[in-house]
Amino acid sequence: MDDTYTHGHHESVLRSHRWRTVENSAAYLLAHLDPGMHVLDVGCGPGTITLDLANRVAPGTVIGVDNSPEIIAVAEQARVAALCDNVGFAIGDTYALDFDDEHFDVVHAHQVMQHLTDPVAALTEIRRVLTPDGLLAIRDQDLSAQAIAPFDARLRRWTELHREVYARNSAEPNAGRYLLNWVRRAGFSDITLSSSTWTFADTETRAWWGTLWADRCLHSSFAEQAVAYGLSDQTELKGLADAWREWSVQPDACIFCVHGEVLARR
Ligand SMILES: C[S@@+](CC[C@H](N)C(=O)[O-])C[C@H]1O[C@@H](n2cnc3c(N)ncnc32)[C@H](O)[C@@H]1O
């Protein structure tokens, strides 16, 4: 597949991805993780969730794959720094996984389906590498369900621009609400859909989220694509960045980032 990943791996993007843990991004999976399990983390990015999974299933093993060589090198550095010997990182494509059939007890993917042009094909391939009673765990954002206060027309435009860039990439920013449909079509059974949010609404997390998004509006692949696709320009992007910086210091600012999440059996 010739998919285009909307966000890229600029430092401002990784600032957000590196914050992620099993607890804040895969809590729905926690009760199903046991020592000794073999886990695949698809689209692992910088690998903080992957490393956390490895701690939780040791002496089992975790493999993180991502189709970006650049981010796999970053994840490998994190693995070395964490002295974690039951995890490995490899370049890999979720549409064509380089593993035998029925290989993993759990396949996890966080915020990956939303970026794919054919999530059902990816889920069908993931199903192939799961053991007969293996568990799928996927979580994706639902952009249109996101709530931001106080109201700011520029932040509403930020949401619209996101939708427009994803659409040009034939991807789905509201993936959270479609996970159930996609997982059913890929042939999974025993499906449980739930939802959860990230909430940023205190001085520290507002400053972190607002600043990283201000930087992403100026420097990430999202910004580059928005301009290249003729959807925005540097003046508008600077305005969006300003809006996020202003939001980040308001004492009553809050954001709820809504996600859908699915557990399903092969
Ligand atoms: C939003 S990031 C999520 C990273 C990580 N799962 C996390 O939550 O921190 C999505 C990741 O999926 C990767 N990706 C996109 N398309 C992929 C594909 N076809 N196969 C494997 N990885 C893919 C991107 O390179 C990116 O690192």
CATH number for position 245: 3.40.50.150
Mean pLDDT, residues 4-30: 95
* Ligand 1 atom nearest to 5, measured from its CA: 15
Question: Which residues 6+ apart lie within 8 Å of 255 measured at CB?
Answer: 146, 147, 148, 149, 199, 200, 201, 209
Ligand 1 centre to CA of 112 (Å) is 5
Closest residue to atom 1 of ligand 1, CA basis:
111
In a domain, 50, yes or no: yes
* Model confidence pLDDT, tens digit, residues 119-169: 999 999 999 999 999 999 999 999 999 999 999 999 999 999 999 999 999
Ligand 1 centre to CA of 194 (Å) is 21
Ligand 1 centre to CA of 92 (Å) is 10
Q: Give me the pLDDT at residue 129, please.
A: 98
Q: Which residues pair with 137 in a beta bridge?
A: 108, 263
* Ligand 1 atom nearest to 92, measured from its CA: 21
Ligand 1 centre to CA of 151 (Å) is 31
Ligand 1 centre to CA of 111 (Å) is 7
In a domain, 101, yes or no: yes
DSSP symbols for 140-186 = EE-GGG-EEES--HHHHHHHHHHHHHHHHTT--TTGGGGHHHHHHHT
Q: Give me the pLDDT at residue 218, please.
A: 97
Q: Give me the pLDDT at residue 72, please.
A: 98
Using an 8 Å Cβ cutoff, are 45 and 92 in contact? no
* Model confidence pLDDT, tens digit, residues 220-230: 999 999 999 99
* Domain range enclosing 104: 11-265
* Ligand 1 atom nearest to 17, measured from its CA: 9
Provide the number of structural domains found in the chain: 1
In a domain, 60, yes or no: yes
Ligand 1 centre to CA of 66 (Å) is 6
Q: Give me the pLDDT at residue 145, please.
A: 97
- Evaluate if residue 1 carries a pLDDT over 80: no
Ligand 1 centre to CA of 99 (Å) is 18
Count of C-beta atoms within a 10 Å radius of residue 20 = 20
In a domain, 110, yes or no: yes
In a domain, 6, yes or no: no
Mean pLDDT of the chain: 97
Question: Which residues 6+ apart lie within 8 Å of 228 measured at CB?
Answer: none
Q: 7-11, 26-30, 99-103, 251-255 — which is least confidently predicted?
A: 7-11
In a domain, 250, yes or no: yes
Two structure tokens written together for 79: 């693995």
Closest residue to atom 10 of ligand 1, CA basis:
112
* Model confidence pLDDT, tens digit, residues 169-218: 999 999 999 999 999 999 999 999 999 999 999 999 999 999 999 999 99
* Ligand 1 atom nearest to 18, measured from its CA: 9
Q: Give me the pLDDT at residue 264, please.
A: 98
Closest residue to atom 12 of ligand 1, CA basis:
43
Ligand 1 centre to CA of 250 (Å) is 32
Q: Per the omega criterion (within 30 degrees of 0), is the bond before 35 cis?
A: no
In a domain, 4, yes or no: no
Count of C-beta atoms within a 10 Å radius of residue 65 = 23
Give the binding-site residues of ligand 1, using a 6 Å CB cut-off.
Answer: 3, 5, 7, 17, 20, 42-45, 49, 66-68, 71, 93-95, 110-112, 115
Nearest to 14 by CA among 240, 262, 212, 251: 212
Q: Give me the pLDDT at residue 2, please.
A: 84
Mean pLDDT, residues 97-124: 98
Using an 8 Å Cβ cutoff, are 38 and 103 in contact? yes
* Model confidence pLDDT, tens digit, residues 19-78: 999 999 999 999 999 999 999 999 999 999 999 999 999 999 999 999 999 999 999 999
In a domain, 162, yes or no: yes
Does the pTM of the predicted model rise above 0.75? Answer: yes
Closest residue to atom 8 of ligand 1, CA basis:
110
